[in-house]
Amino acid sequence: MKALFLGLALLAAAQATPAPSGLLRVEAHGHSNRWTFDAAPGALVAKLDGAEVWRRTGPFAQPTGLDVQIAPGRVILMSTDAKTSRVFLTAYDLETGRPLWLNKVYDGYAEAMAGVRGISGYTLLVQGSSGEPSFGKVFGVSLTTGKTLWTARQDVVGFDDDEVLVLDYGVGSPMNIPHLLPLVRVQSATGQQTKFTLTLPTRPGCGEMNYQGSIPDLRFTNRYLYALRQDACGKFIVRFPWQGDIHTAMVYPDRRGPFPANPPAGR
């Protein structure tokens, strides 16, 4: 497997900020960072280096959520409509704004939410949840056709050009067991899935491990998975490499402050 992209940093493919005249401005990342997109209810305005290139109306009327991902030759817009609980994916030609395809990711689901995580090969990765209680789902969507190629449970860990790693606390997977991490490798082009479980090692003489409470229990970089745990001896970190033997772990005390940042990439 190639080095994984930073999973958590890709949770949002674009950052939305307030703009003049009550617009929502999205600075899109990825294929080009020169594009900006201004969204008002029912309209999307694409600008290149500050100059308007095209504008389109579409199924993103009165959006409560807006996510933009730029892929080669196209821009993918995800929008959430609060009135209908629908989540749409719409692809436009990047240069002209011509509509290419539409995918109703969540159509009429209760409490639906979704976000674009990134691109693996020619597959767009979308993570969403719906229902009460909330149920997580990962969608693999073709960049070419907009069709959903595959789905998986439950949260995207990371991905490269060929594979997606998913954390799966679904039916038949160990849940709320601190020393077990149920993971799934998904081939992004075909959706073929391989399940496996990582076992976190305990520290001798420190008793059983537990989660660290308010601190997020997992963090990811382009090379490692960090599981944050605690036992009778205190808080500690278990680090697994994505490259090489994924079952080889390093265990060391967690000496960070109460509000730790993600570990730097490559460490």
Q: pTM here? A: 0.74
pLDDT digits (tens, 9 = 90+) for 44-57: 788 887 788 888 87
pLDDT digits (tens, 9 = 90+) for 194-236: 988 888 999 999 999 998 765 667 776 667 788 889 999 999 9
- What's the CA gap between 135 and 254, in Å, rounded? 31
What are the residue ranges of CATH 2.130.10.10 in the chain? 12-156
pLDDT for res 8: 27
The CATH code that applies to domain 12-156 is 2.130.10.10
Token duo for residue 240: 């697994």
User: Which residues fall within 8 angstroms of residue 124, CB to CB, at 6 or more apart?
Assistant: 69, 71, 76, 89, 116, 140, 141, 142, 143
Helix (H, G, I), strand (E, B) or coil at 119: strand
User: Which residues fall within 8 angstroms of residue 72, CB to CB, at 6 or more apart?
Assistant: 31
- What's the CA gap between 185 and 164, in Å, rounded? 6
pLDDT for res 197: 86
pLDDT digits (tens, 9 = 90+) for 160-200: 888 888 888 765 556 678 888 888 889 999 999 998 888 89
The overall average pLDDT reported for the chain is 74
Q: Residue 237 burial (CB < 10 Å; 0-12/13-18/19+)?
A: buried
